Structure 1
């Protein structure tokens, strides 16, 4: 009886101590993690460079949640044109003026050749591949010998003689773009959303220039699949849209839907990329292919690119066109819609060439209509695709 009493007493004490230890662990573990993480974040900061300190774990992510550009301007007034912030654990140098960007980026081009690696885009999205080049574009790849080869290969396909072979493609797609605006808008009688037309223009140009095939209609299943997938993948490259890129703790989530979504988009992208590449290979083999960037790169013996690197160049042409051309054209159309006087001036200048024996432009000579040339160049300057604020992500 006495032994039983002693055993029960020991069991109660052990159970009590276990519960106390578990409770202590539950309370202490998060505090220890935060403390260690703050040491890591503090050591990651660039010594001697000013900038806001931010909150524990998340840094300045909370500060830029609403209007990032305005917050950057506010910080620039306090810390200067060049300062550092922290997105979670990652230190970021913000360059907030054109003069500072020219001095730092323009004069240090070689040092700025690399790109940061993000967990969502470079790891979660491409977890199913062995190569670190097959799923990234030239603009999203860290500096390496492979990147140098890809840049050289792309440059060979984008030099002046090569570009001249693509002019007929540009002419066809531009004509179809205007035709779509005319048809869908019933010659200007009804308001329309020009975004699908701009997307088809961008995508068809990318497909034509890179693979030598056209996308003739918005109703094509390939149009909807590529625009949807590339738009989703573009979000994975978002500076502030993926918190797990900056807060390592979030990566431990066993049901991380964000990472699962990234992998799904990668699989869907692989399907249409393989189809486009295989189709081009067959046309090259049979000698029926049209002049295009991918074919030029494949047949360039000096490039010495493997399949993964060729895929990277394809992605560069595809996603780059969808990101830049679509946005540029959409903004330009929006601007013109608010300035009918500029439209009228452009039309009157174009009509001056109707009665001349030579066309307004030809493959060997750019537009002779000075007003249109100036208008296009101004749109490229005014609606530039570069962000107002430049980020320099420091290596973790």
Structure 2
């Protein structure tokens, strides 16, 4: 078999050797060789040129094959070595990041303990406390996290180090994705009149993009907390009673009407959501959400629910595994940006509506208007919006979920209803379904019922995480500055050192131990500023609900706080959807009271 080639010189000194089934090029030389039997030499070219061309082509083919094989080997080796080197290096970094002299589960390379806590993190932390003690560390990815699981430990850490544990960590999904958004018309409207620098990348993670509860410690946070404290102290809460009266009346009215006076089983969640949302809108902007049919109702409840998911400390893997952020089709980040944009739209509409009413002199007293008219107030519009977001998300996240769990429990526990109604009868007759809104928690059993529902159904199982602003001593350990600390409010509320029967729903415990600790609102400097308002609202809603209706089971819903949790990865523990019947205790009296409700509304 002879190797023959056709040889010619191309312009710019390019040699082309054709006859091969393919073509290869090195620099300015392209070659191709075809192996054929009995191909005669070209008689017009000297034999030496044929030999030289054949040799060059053979060398090029061999070199090309060698380079190709080497490239494949190098690529394969790189595909194996690079991940291995990354895992080894990352494991070294992860090991060095652990807090010295603090025990805890080691976890897996790259992900740490994330796999262990994907379902019901708070309960898993509670179980680990039996092995590692009330305070231990876990690692979420490379991030070491101190978890506090007992009442005594919580008091020692958060009570004695309130200032040192006054900040919040910043998470990629909730704090950073928002801050990477391009400027929008809605955001520019918020910043337009601010007297501070309002570059979006900085301010979104510090003010309007976050609630007070999720903001890191800063001078801005101190101003906002002061404003919120003024709006939520005891005298201020007393002025909100007329709003509580109207919204709780409408709540009873909707249960009556949608439930066809107890003949039709209904899902109470939309009624509960409207109650919480309307109260938040009234307090902040001076407007009501009078109907579930309002288009804004579905939009706000949906968007706020989605944003709550992004606040979860366990549901966003990219917060702890930076490699996941490099995904070019990261739908998680895209979704976060989408809901943020949608929230900007209705916030801008609410703010603009208030501005117009204030200009026309038709606005009603509300938190935003009070601050805007206060010449001594040092809050700009972005900070004011942050306060409003706090009220909005706080009501929808916690009060809504708390009432939902309570109703689910009532439908299954007729004995609790009977005890509660008997206690209410000491103050109100059956012919007084709308208990006095001015009643400042006189019925002690209902107060105990509120506290027990807050304890047993801890809706924020893991209170919003803290970040240390300086080193914190604890036992033989120093928790370094910048560390992340989780308060497992669920475990603290179920502490067997405080209660002999923590896993039993028993309101009487609060009559026996009225000063016992409750961790649902958090503890220390960053505990919930709205607890007084929340307690007053829950008391009135529970009183009117129990005095107006007998709640009857329709769906056999699981109301256990662990097994009944609809989404254990979410920030807020919520029961699964259910229906119940709300049967009027005295239909004539209730219908008459509801006619009065229409007049008040």
Q: TM-score range, shorter-chain basis?
A: over 0.9
Aligned position for 2:60: 7
Aligned position for 2:265: 191
Aligned position for 2:180: 127
1:240 corresponds to 2:293: no
Aligned position for 2:324: 250
- 1:126–1:263 CA contact under 8 A, matched in 2: no
Aligned counterpart in structure 2 of residue 300 of structure 1, from 374, 377, 392? 374
Aligned position for 1:79: 132
Q: Which moved more, 1:193-202 or 1:14-23?
A: 14-23
The residue correspondences of 1:369-388 to structure 2 (distance < 5 A) are: 369-387=443-461
Larger relative helix fraction = 1
Q: Which moved more, 1:85-94 or 1:246-255?
A: 85-94
- 2:121–2:314 CA contact under 8 A, matched in 1: no
Aligned position for 1:151: 225
- 2:274–2:292 CA contact under 8 A, matched in 1: yes
Aligned position for 1:322: 396
Give the structure with higher Rg (CA). Answer: 2
- 1:152–1:303 CA contact under 8 A, matched in 2: no
Aligned counterpart in structure 1 of residue 387 of structure 2, from 313, 331, 336? 313
Aligned position for 1:284: 358
Q: Distance in 1 between matches of 2:400 and 2:435?
A: 25
Q: Distance in 2 between matches of 1:389 and 1:316?
A: 15
1:63 corresponds to 2:106: no
SS, match of residue 314 in structure 2: coil
Q: Distance in 2 between matches of 1:171 and 1:204?
A: 12
After superposition, give the CA deviation of every residue in 1:265-323 in whole Å (9 maximum; x if it has no partner). 00000000000011111112222211212222222333311222111111111111100
SS, match of residue 198 in structure 1: helix
Larger relative strand fraction = 2
SS, match of residue 54 in structure 1: coil
Q: What's the RMSD between the two structures over aligned residues?
A: 2.3
Q: Distance in 2 between matches of 1:134 and 1:175?
A: 32
- 2:145–2:483 CA contact under 8 A, matched in 1: no
Aligned position for 1:113: 166
Q: Distance in 1 between matches of 2:466 and 2:137?
A: 9
Aligned counterpart in structure 1 of residue 409 of structure 2, from 335, 355, 363? 335
After superposition, give the CA deviation of every residue in 1:199-224 in whole Å (9 maximum; x if it has no partner). 11111111111111100111111110
Gaps in structure 2 of 5+ consecutive residues: 1-51, 182-199, 468-481, 485-601
Aligned position for 1:264: 338
SS, match of residue 324 in structure 1: helix
- Cα deviation, residue 361, structure 1: 3.9
TM superposition score normalised by structure 1 = 0.92
- 2:242–2:437 CA contact under 8 A, matched in 1: no
Q: Distance in 1 between matches of 2:449 and 2:59?
A: 93
Q: Which moved more, 1:379-388 or 1:173-182?
A: 379-388
- Cα deviation, residue 353, structure 1: 4.3
After superposition, give the CA deviation of every residue in 1:163-210 in whole Å (9 maximum; x if it has no partner). 232211111001111111122222323322111111111111111111
SS, match of residue 217 in structure 2: coil
After superposition, give the CA deviation of every residue in 1:54-81 in whole Å (9 maximum; x if it has no partner). 1111111111223434432332122111
- Cα deviation, residue 338, structure 1: 2.2
Distance 1:349 1:395, change over 3 A: closer
Aligned position for 2:254: 180
After superposition, give the CA deviation of every residue in 1:231-252 in whole Å (9 maximum; x if it has no partner). 0111011121111111111000
SS, match of residue 84 in structure 1: strand
SS, match of residue 83 in structure 1: strand
Distance 1:183 1:56, change over 3 A: same
TM superposition score normalised by structure 2 = 0.62
